[in-house]
Amino acid sequence: MSGTSSTKSEGNELVFVALGGAGEIGMNLNLYGYGPPGEERWIMLDLGVTFSDGWPPGVDVIMADPAFIAERADQLDGLILTHAHEDHLGAVPYLWDRFRCPIFATPFTAHILDRKLAEPGWEDQADVTVVPLQGKFTVGPFELELITLTHSIPEPNAVVIRSPLGTVLHTGDWKFDPDPVVGDVSDQAALRALGDEGVLAMVCDSTNVFAPGQSGSEGGILDSMTEVIAECPGRVAVACFATNVARLETIARAALETGRQVVLAGRSLWRIQAAARENGYLADVPPFLAEEDVDSLPDDKVLIVCTGSQGEPRAALARIAAGDHPRVSLGHGDWVIFSSREIPGNETAIARVQNDLVARGVRIVTSRDAFVHVSGHPNRDELTHMYQLVRPRIAVPVHGELRHLHEHARLARECQVEQAVVAPNGAMARLAPGPVKVVDHVPTGRLALVGGRLVPMDGNLIKERIRGVWHGVVTVTVVVDDGGLAEEPQITTLGISEDPEDDPVVAAAYEAAVNAVRALPPRKLAVDDEVREAVRLAVRRTFRGHLDMKPVTTVHLVRI
């Protein structure tokens, strides 16, 4: 689009805004807009989730609130998925109905997406275009091109976004891996050619900006993994991300080298391996065995690949560690290899699972003990090399916490990038015309999946749930008639008293409820809301005064 006349772009702007994934790692949601301010045509890159570490209670999945773009759904021309990790496409089955825009993805990603769209029954409603690797296509006012990179999943893509006001490279998640095991190496020739063409801005992964050197190659893990497995006298379990197909192949090769057969434990592993095989990956890997086959093999011939490397309580590894997995058990003489990194925030959950395993006599091996993991994200030297290839005029760091974004911006300036802007979630950065500038801040937030419903993280439901955990719950039942109390109040508590029937504080709350009703004048006694509020305040005040707790207090009023 470099030949587009300047008159066509007059009055238009090219803007970028992240609603998720800028200022945090996970739940990526990126938007690019082109057009007059307020009348832009938009494209969305990625729509992901993050997983709760157990807080708030009862919340497993969290995603960016898409309200800003949902309100402009008629201006949204398409959703482009860079790859199939949950933090890039996991929110599609929850949020796509708010946009109903076309979706674009490469074959492996589209395969994973199809299964997700089937969960809410949208597989026949969504318009999904399968784009070939290195494919070119047009969405709204943008001409798009995919550039193959390497990452810890098949088919990761950078997206070239060409507009009348300039070209943007959105890297997605990536690294430079000379031996990725699965898939092609990063197309550095295409990146260099793009740099020669001229790049206005690069929106780039910041995950490992503090890590010096190179991130390491997946191909380098095989020998070390084989050596570790060969030392184990009993069963070996390897915990890794289900989506890391290259790691799955590495583990399978190590199993062959050590005379073991691979058993998959975890439904997500079976789904991913099926998608991989159907798209031409894992072609030389023998079929995996099911959990039911474990006990039919000698211990020293078993290698179990399982989900749960982040300590997820419902994953296979946590159940094995707790001793309640129905088909797989580990004990003295067995080893568990954690072939993954600790995602920040998951340290406590991971330690809990590891302690449970150690209590069973299992030996733990992590990346601190042996070379059993490499990151899927670029270390500092790789970031520098990317800037040398692409040579953008503007750097926009994403996919990182705020400290990552600021450090990435400093690195970009060291790489002679003219301008670097930190634009955390909600900051609308105008990339062109003129110098890059944050020109607006749009509403952002988070949604939590609770009981199959999406609710705002800062809404009453989550607030009350948190308050209930910290301060407990009190329910007061009051029966009144026109003259006052018709029966004695009943008080039940959760998370407050060890023995409510013999607790002086509960007894004091009972007296407070009685006195609150008796103190009401007739005109207020006749109004249900007045009675409820008087009792609620009196009871809550009692618990606060005695226990310094502010329980969630509800009053059930019966009038006879």
- Domain containing residue 336: CATH number: 3.40.50.10710
Kindly state the average pLDDT of the residues 122-147. Answer: 97
CATH number, position 481? 3.10.20.580
Q: Would residue 240 count as lying in a domain?
A: yes
Out of 426, 456, 486, pick the residue that ends a domain: 456
Q: Would residue 88 count as lying in a domain?
A: yes
Beta bridge partners of 129: 104
**Number of neighbours of residue 279 by Cβ within 10 angstroms:** 18
Average pLDDT, the chain: 94
Residue type, 295: D
Residues 255 and 306 in one domain: yes
Residues 64 and 199 in one domain: yes
Q: What pLDDT is recorded for position 491? A: 94
Q: What pLDDT is recorded for position 132? A: 97
Q: What is the model's pTM?
A: 0.88
Residues 495 and 435 in one domain: no
- Residue 151 near residue 174 (C-beta atoms within 8 A): yes
Q: What pLDDT is recorded for position 273? A: 95
Out of 456, 483, 517, pick the residue that ends a domain: 456
Q: Would residue 465 count as lying in a domain?
A: no
Q: Would residue 92 count as lying in a domain?
A: yes
- Please name the residues in contact with 368: beta carbons below 8 A apart, sequence gap of 6 or more: none
Q: Would residue 327 count as lying in a domain?
A: yes
Distance CA 186, CA 179 (A): 10
Out of 456, 480, 513, pick the residue that ends a domain: 456
Let me know the angle formed at the C-alpha of 189 by 187 and 193, rounded to the nearest 5 degrees: 125
Kindly state the average pLDDT of the residues 159-181. Answer: 97
Tell me the per-residue pLDDT of 15-40, one tens digit each, with 9 for 90 and over.
999 999 999 988 999 999 999 999 99
Kindly state the average pLDDT of the residues 59-86. Answer: 96
Which tokens go with 90? 């996991």
Residues 422 and 524 in one domain: no
Residues 437 and 487 in one domain: no
Residues 92 and 144 in one domain: yes
Q: What pLDDT is recorded for position 345? A: 74
Half-sphere exposure of 406 (CA within 13 A, CB side): 3
Residues 180 and 258 in one domain: no
Which of the four pLDDT bands, split at 50, 70 and 90, describes residue 460? confident
3-state secondary structure of 385: helix
Q: Would residue 463 count as lying in a domain?
A: no
Tell me the per-residue pLDDT of 96-109, one tens digit each, with 9 for 90 and over.
999 999 999 999 99
Q: State how beta strands 335-338 and 236-239 pair.
A: parallel
Q: Would residue 151 count as lying in a domain?
A: yes
Helical H segments across 51-202, by residue range: 67-70, 86-89, 92-95, 107-118, 188-197
Residues 181 and 231 in one domain: no
Q: Which residue has the higher pLDDT, 58 or 22?
A: 22
Q: What pLDDT is recorded for position 312? A: 87
Q: Which candidate, 461, 367, 457, places its Cα nearest to that of 65?
A: 457
User: Where is average pLDDT lowest: 7-21, 266-280, 387-401, 521-535?
Assistant: 7-21
Residues 90 and 199 in one domain: yes
Distance CA 365, CA 377 (A): 22
Q: Would residue 326 count as lying in a domain?
A: yes
Segments forming the whole domain that contains residue 486: 472-559
Is the C-alpha dihedral spanning 392, 396, 400, 406 positive or negative?
Answer: positive
Which tokens go with 236? 């070996």
Distance CA 52, CA 66 (A): 19
3-state secondary structure of 524: helix
Q: What pLDDT is recorded for position 8? A: 57
Q: Which candidate, 486, 488, 510, 487, places its Cα nearest to that of 497?
A: 510
User: Where is average pLDDT lowest: 38-47, 123-132, 247-256, 493-502?
Assistant: 493-502
Q: What percent of the chain has pLDDT over 70?
A: 98
User: Where is average pLDDT lowest: 49-58, 168-177, 386-395, 454-463?
Assistant: 49-58
Q: How many domains does the chain have?
A: 3
Residues 112 and 254 in one domain: no
Half-sphere exposure of 515 (CA within 13 A, CB side): 11
CATH number, position 14? 3.60.15.10
Q: What pLDDT is recorded for position 53? A: 66
Residues 272 and 415 in one domain: no
Distance CA 229, CA 250 (A): 12
Residues 205 and 223 in one domain: no
